[in-house]
Structure 1
Amino acid sequence: MGFEAILGKVSEYLWSVPMLVFIAVVAGVYTIATGFLQVRFFKDMITQTFTGKSSASGVSPFQALVIGLSGRVGTGNIAGVATAIAAGGPGAVFWMWFIAFFGSAAAFAESTLAQIYKKRVDGEYRGGPAYYAEKGLGWKWYGYIFAVVAAVSTCLLTPGIQANAIAESMNNAFGITPLITGIALVAIVGYVIFGGIRRIAFLASYVVPIMALFYLLVAAIVIFANIEQVPSTFALIFSSAFGVDSAFGGIIGAAISWGVKRGLYSNEAGQGTGAQAAAAAEVSHPVKQGLVQSFSVYIDTLLICTATALMILMTGNYSVENPDGGFLVDYANGMEAGAGYTQAAVDGVLGGFGSAFVAISLFFFAFTTLVAYFYIAETNLFYIVRGEKRKIFSNIMKPLFLAAVFFGTVRSASFAWTLADIGLGLMVWVNLIAVILLYKPTILAFKDYQTQKREGLDPVFRPSQVDIKNADYWEERELEEEMQRKTV
């Protein structure tokens, strides 16, 4: 068995039935415990997104949202949706919606925990699974496990698929060879990551919202041009999701597996990466940023992924693989599943503009995801390495990350996806174990937020009042407030 085949088996094992059941359990527990916050607190999600300002140590809630979105909105929204449809049929789209709705509760939990146990490191807020495993569970060794897994995954395993998708789309649209794309991409990414979190936040604040709006606008044009296909397309999605459709009834397992896998790859709910962006926010209560990050899952999957799926399905630019070999349907005439499906869909309505627009959109989406990956890798590196050695190891990590980016542009898409799936799978397993074990502080913080809201207050977190221990940053803040009151 070759090296790539071995990696494929590892990916299959990580994403087997136990993983899907575990994800469903964690998401379900937090959905029920919060009384379906996905619906009840939707207004708060939007309000908190645009409330608050940045500080010397942290970014604003909106900036934290777009940093999180810069990691979420990427290849998964364009190429990932295509691969989900190719492997799981149209029904995979429904399971992407399913994991987005319930997964937003897991995103809330991990992001709230990241805020509760965040620390100020070198003048900037840092947090995430490694930090809440150490402080919340008291398992420093487990924090190191996640930090190593996350640093390796986001530095070496997951960047390749973003770079590969950029190279493929640029080649399709403009005939630019992957080698040239790789060199240019390394130069641009290198400029940004050497600028620190401030440059990352500035870039994400402008690029992500603007490109997302333009992408949704073009998608709306394509969908409107095929408006008569809307009822039949939704009927196809639902019938395929539950094995009713005659063509895709035999691959319901693949629909669930690939829908969940690609949905999680896209929205990152439960992966732990969004939690690290959430920790960087300057807020008065952890739940505020938990709600903001929960909202970002909706933006990613229910808006952008759905737009891509509808364009592909309504225009008939897709193929679905037969597990036994060949295709169940081959409307794309053997085209490799990926950004090409979306490019063909837009081309069918807007002519040659489609390939170029999708390539440019994918470039910005994937580019900001690459930058977010480096921030996550560095955050976990800073957890592992303490003191003066941080800067040395950070400077070592940067060329390794850029090498992974370049390597991704010149490798096959299938190999890049396999590496990304392994990296994602490892992070999900390690993170969700910590998230479910830290149920108590998450719900205590949530109830505290609810109580203060009912009293007409702008919620402020004071860990001593809710019996949450080892929330170092918040304890220091609470002590400072007490000293100020005594002085006055």
Structure 2
Amino acid sequence: MELLIEKIYNVVWSDVLVFLCLLTGVYFSIRFKMPQITYLRQMVLLLFKNNASDKGITSFQAFSLAISGRVGTGNIAGVATAIAMGGPGAVFWMWAIAFLGSASAIVEATLGQMYKVEKDGQYRGGPAFYILRGLNNKAFAWAFAIVTIISTGFLLPSVQSNSISVAVKSAFDIPLYYTGIGLAVLLGIIIIGGVKRISRVAEYVVPFMAGSYILMSLIIIAINIHQVPAVFSLIFSSAFSLDATFGGIVGLAISWGVKRGIYSNEAGQGTAPHAAAAAEVSHPVKQGLVQGFSVYVDTLFVCTATALMILFTGQYNVVNPKGGFLVENLPQVEMGPEFTQFAVSQHFPLLGSGFVAIALTFFAFTTIMAYYYIAESNISFVMRNNKSKLLIWSLRIIILFSTFIGCMTTAKTAWVLGDIGVGLMAWLNLIAILLLHKKVVVLFKDYNEQLKAGKDPVFDNSKYNFPNMQFWNKK
């Protein structure tokens, strides 16, 4: 069975998917005239447009909900893994996929808004919705929904909770099952309140957790300011086969940088459109731009903070694909969050391990919250009657069980299965947004025309008559 799972993983996460992610980002960047740069001011301004309703959440809440999904174990353990497997050059390729992926995130989030619906007293949307309504392909839409329910509802939560329990046990010697019980109880209280409560928690927790983590990294950067040129030189030279030590693994640097970049920022993966669809906005492009900015926050800020702390202090190993290590600064230490814990402890021996454990707890817990909302949205898609309530309660029990069990097991197989689910989501979603992006081009033109006319853009579908956009038809 393990051999079969590994073969499936190698097919799903082949180099074809890596290059598809990169090339899709390149294409959208060119097609939309570098929106990740030209609309940067708009991204920030739209972030604080506080429009909400009984059915929708504010742009900042949707941003926070998406960030809570993006910022998780990948920002600490994922960055460490990328460096361990691809060397320091992997950091550059994480930056590259974040920059290019921001354009993909703008397109998918705009589509999430275009094809959202009002259901169960709130806005619902995501790739399954825009695949069905935009491409008129029920089988394609159901495939995405089912893969997403399994991945975010069962497989991925255990990976996040396992990282929390291990870090907490290491830092504070708290038994794993105590952490599991605490996480399950707190998560249950939050998710029973629905998207409104989830978004409110994310709105307060996300800025605090990201800000604290980045502040710690800035302190460590300031202490090591003299090393900045050398570390950036190491990253760039390793990324392009110019470094003697890491020149032979440039292919792995690209592969692992892109893989862990996508795992962390989720651009093009199809998760963020669920949060984007929940926002109350007057034009779909507005939420697209907000979600494009969230990719920057995840990778260019939080992932970079982790990478610099690790590289400044030299607290990492790099695996030699031929056997052994190219760099072994931490003998007998497995790749993962311990790299970051050792890095922070270099400067703050009494705080390092505990600080990283607390940061990881916030990061991973809010990611589990986002996973629940994504799974719930896809259950709402596949069930069109009252049976959905029964399935939603079943989902709540399953995700709480997965969270608790994950705390007490090593989740190696769950990581692989979770990666397969994430990879399948990315395959399906990237194909969908490539097929649908011309409609987003039309909306961008409409948005820009209204901006140039000095208006606050409001979308009126009667001008275009796109089919199956019932929400915007009402507008």
Match of 1:480 in 2: none
Q: State TM-score, norm by structure 1.
A: 0.95
Match of 1:485 in 2: none
Match of 2:473 in 1: 475
What CA distance in whole angstroms lies between the structure 2 residues aligned with 1:417 and 1:191? 26
Alignment pair present for 1:182 and 2:180: yes
What CA distance in whole angstroms lies between the structure 2 residues aligned with 1:347 and 1:458? 49
TM-superposition CA deviations, 1:92-115 (whole Å, max 9, x none): 100000000000000000000000
Match of 2:130 in 1: 132
Q: Secondary structure at the match of 1:438?
A: helix
The answer to whether the Cα contact below 8 Å between 1:172 and 1:340 also exists between their aligned partners in 2 is: no
What CA distance in whole angstroms lies between the structure 2 residues aligned with 1:427 and 1:363? 25
What CA distance in whole angstroms lies between the structure 1 residues aligned with 2:48 and 2:87? 38
Aligned positions, number: 475
Which residue, 58, 79, 88 being the options, matches 1:81? 79
Q: How does 1:255-274 map to 2 (within 5 A)?
A: 255-274=253-272
Match of 2:289 in 1: 291
Which residue, 306, 315, 320 being the options, matches 1:322? 320
- 1:408 offset after TM fit, Å? 2.0
What CA distance in whole angstroms lies between the structure 2 residues aligned with 1:284 and 1:297? 22
The amino acid across from 1:429 in the alignment is W
Q: How does 1:13-412 map to 2 (within 5 A)?
A: 13-412=11-410
- 1:303 offset after TM fit, Å? 0.4
Q: State TM-score, norm by structure 2.
A: 0.98
Q: Secondary structure at the match of 1:45?
A: helix
Q: Secondary structure at the match of 2:457?
A: coil
| Aligned residues: CA RMSD | 1.1
Bigger shift: residues 287-296 or 317-326: 317-326
Match of 1:484 in 2: none
Q: How does 1:410-421 map to 2 (within 5 A)?
A: 410-421=408-419
What CA distance in whole angstroms lies between the structure 1 residues aligned with 2:278 and 2:190? 18
What CA distance in whole angstroms lies between the structure 1 residues aligned with 2:408 and 2:3? 19
- 1:467 offset after TM fit, Å? 4.2
Q: Secondary structure at the match of 2:392?
A: helix
- 1:6 offset after TM fit, Å? 3.0
TM-superposition CA deviations, 1:14-52 (whole Å, max 9, x none): 111110121122212211111000110000000111113
The amino acid across from 2:434 in the alignment is I
- 1:53 offset after TM fit, Å? 1.6
Alignment pair present for 1:434 and 2:417: no
TM-superposition CA deviations, 1:381-418 (whole Å, max 9, x none): 11011111011111111111122222322232533421
What CA distance in whole angstroms lies between the structure 2 residues aligned with 1:52 and 1:174? 40
What CA distance in whole angstroms lies between the structure 2 residues aligned with 1:125 and 1:55? 10
- 1:194 offset after TM fit, Å? 1.4
The amino acid across from 1:448 in the alignment is D
Q: 1:5 to 1:164 in 2, by over 3 A?
A: farther
What CA distance in whole angstroms lies between the structure 1 residues aligned with 2:413 and 2:225? 37
The answer to whether the Cα contact below 8 Å between 1:163 and 1:182 also exists between their aligned partners in 2 is: yes
Structure 1 spans left out of the alignment, 5+ residues: 478-488
- 1:451 offset after TM fit, Å? 0.9
- 1:10 offset after TM fit, Å? 1.9
The amino acid across from 1:466 in the alignment is Y
The amino acid across from 1:115 in the alignment is Q
- 1:12 offset after TM fit, Å? 2.1
What CA distance in whole angstroms lies between the structure 1 residues aligned with 2:465 and 2:309? 50
- 1:320 offset after TM fit, Å? 0.6
The amino acid across from 1:240 in the alignment is S
TM-superposition CA deviations, 1:45-104 (whole Å, max 9, x none): 001111132111100000000000010111111111001111111111000000000000
The amino acid across from 1:24 in the alignment is L
TM-superposition CA deviations, 1:289-317 (whole Å, max 9, x none): 00000000000000000000000011000
The answer to whether the Cα contact below 8 Å between 1:104 and 1:294 also exists between their aligned partners in 2 is: yes
TM-superposition CA deviations, 1:145-202 (whole Å, max 9, x none): 1111111110112112211110111111111232322222112112211111111011
The amino acid across from 1:177 in the alignment is P
Bigger shift: residues 462-471 or 289-298: 462-471
The amino acid across from 2:135 in the alignment is L
The answer to whether the Cα contact below 8 Å between 1:81 and 1:309 also exists between their aligned partners in 2 is: yes
The amino acid across from 2:315 in the alignment is N
The answer to whether the Cα contact below 8 Å between 1:448 and 1:466 also exists between their aligned partners in 2 is: no
The answer to whether the Cα contact below 8 Å between 1:70 and 1:369 also exists between their aligned partners in 2 is: yes
Which residue, 422, 425, 430 being the options, matches 2:420? 422
Bigger shift: residues 93-102 or 5-14: 5-14
What CA distance in whole angstroms lies between the structure 2 residues aligned with 1:390 and 1:417? 28
What CA distance in whole angstroms lies between the structure 2 residues aligned with 1:311 and 1:57? 42
The answer to whether the Cα contact below 8 Å between 1:119 and 1:473 also exists between their aligned partners in 2 is: yes
Q: Secondary structure at the match of 2:326?
A: strand
The answer to whether the Cα contact below 8 Å between 1:445 and 1:466 also exists between their aligned partners in 2 is: no
The amino acid across from 1:313 in the alignment is L
Bigger shift: residues 197-206 or 156-165: 156-165
- 1:287 offset after TM fit, Å? 0.1
Q: Secondary structure at the match of 2:407?
A: helix
Bigger shift: residues 341-350 or 291-300: 341-350
The answer to whether the Cα contact below 8 Å between 1:463 and 1:469 also exists between their aligned partners in 2 is: no
